[in-house]
Amino acid sequence: MADNVIPFPGAEAEPDDAPPFSQADIQAITQQLIDELGSPEAVLQALGAFGGFEPFGGRGPFDLMSPRPKPKLLRKRSKRATYVVRLDLDDAKPPIWRRLRLRSDVTLGHLHGIIQVAMGWTNSHLHQFKMGPSTKDFMMMPFLTAYDLSEGETDGIPENDVRLDQVLGEPGHRLFYEYDFGDSWHHTIKLERVEPWVDGQPDASCVTGRRACPPEDVGGVPGYEDALAGLRSEPSDNPEWTRELLAWLPPRYDPEHFDVAEVNEQLWQGLFNPDAWHPGIV
């Protein structure tokens, strides 16, 4: 299963004989950064601030030699509850987000399908969840997807074995989700409220949200921002690139469009609920 099903517009494969960075190049760049910022720790903190995360979850650079930390699951709730969460597409400006009401004991495999529908993705790429519940630690081992297991991965916890209440316990807790490892669409799921469960309500529903989902394979947040600038007819340093991006957008694409009724119609059809499928299908 290829990660990128549709080629990115204008992308060309790197030649096999492209010269890699030499060890001397890497050492020179690293030393320059240390000289300018004062210490290796300052370099790591600067990189973390640039990427929007705390480097190594607050650990020091020498801890990289230690095994990657595994998720520490929270205790399951004794009674099912309703979780009100906010789902944000990280770094999107203006913000792109959804507010959802979720059954507290849905699995992360089910949550993956809910996110795909709620945001508007097409489930065409790989994904992964990473545990919080507070600091975003990119060294944290992700939960294993069905694809990981089919590839023989065994070191980790399958996402289909993990419930939502085992990763989000109280308001303020966060869970991190990445979709499409090429475009790297990072999402944050933040628990806002815990409410009593009402029998008969759907496993997932969308309360509100803002703005349309970016098109698939547009080049992540930077490519999407370039496409939006093209829609606004802003001057471009690379008009040909802008034309390619605009041609890549779906017909009549409106970045402001969001219809909560459309989202709920798809969610309530239950097409993305693997918890309800026969194990053979899963």
User: What are the structural domains of the chain?
Assistant: 30-65 (no CATH), 81-211+260-276 (3.10.290.30), 214-257 (no CATH)
Residues 254-279 have pLDDT tens digits of 999 999 999 999 998 865 555 544 45
Residue 240's pLDDT band, with cuts at 50, 70 and 90, is confident
| Residue that has been written with the tokens 């309703």 in this structure | 82
C-alpha to C-alpha distance for 27 and 35, rounded to whole angstroms: 12
Query: Between β-strands 81-89 and 97-103, what pairing exists: parallel, antiparallel or unpaired?
Result: antiparallel
Residues 170-188 have pLDDT tens digits of 999 999 999 999 999 999 9
Residue range 214-241: mean pLDDT, rounded: 89
- The pair of structure tokens assigned to 234 is 């802003």
Query: What is the predicted pLDDT for the residue at 67?
Result: 76
Query: What is the predicted pLDDT for the residue at 13?
Result: 46
Strand locations in the chain (E) = 81-89, 97-103, 127-130, 174-179, 185-196, 204-210
Residue range 189-216: mean pLDDT, rounded: 97
C-alpha to C-alpha distance for 136 and 175, rounded to whole angstroms: 8
Query: What is the predicted pLDDT for the residue at 278?
Result: 47
Strand order in the sheet with 204-210: 127-130, 174-179, 185-196, 81-89, 97-103, 204-210
Query: What is the predicted pLDDT for the residue at 185?
Result: 97
Query: What is the predicted pLDDT for the residue at 32?
Result: 73
Lowest mean pLDDT among 2-11, 26-35, 147-156, 174-183: 2-11
Question: Whole-prediction pTM value?
Answer: 0.75
Question: 180 or 235, which is more confident?
Answer: 180
Query: What is the predicted pLDDT for the residue at 271?
Result: 52
C-alpha to C-alpha distance for 62 and 56, rounded to whole angstroms: 10
Residue 281 has pLDDT above 80, yes or no: no
Question: 138 or 61, which is more confident?
Answer: 138
Measured from the Cβ of residue 139, the count of other Cβ atoms closer than 10 Å reads 16
Lowest mean pLDDT among 32-41, 162-171, 217-226: 32-41
Amino acid at site 45: Q
Averaged pLDDT score across all residues of the chain: 84
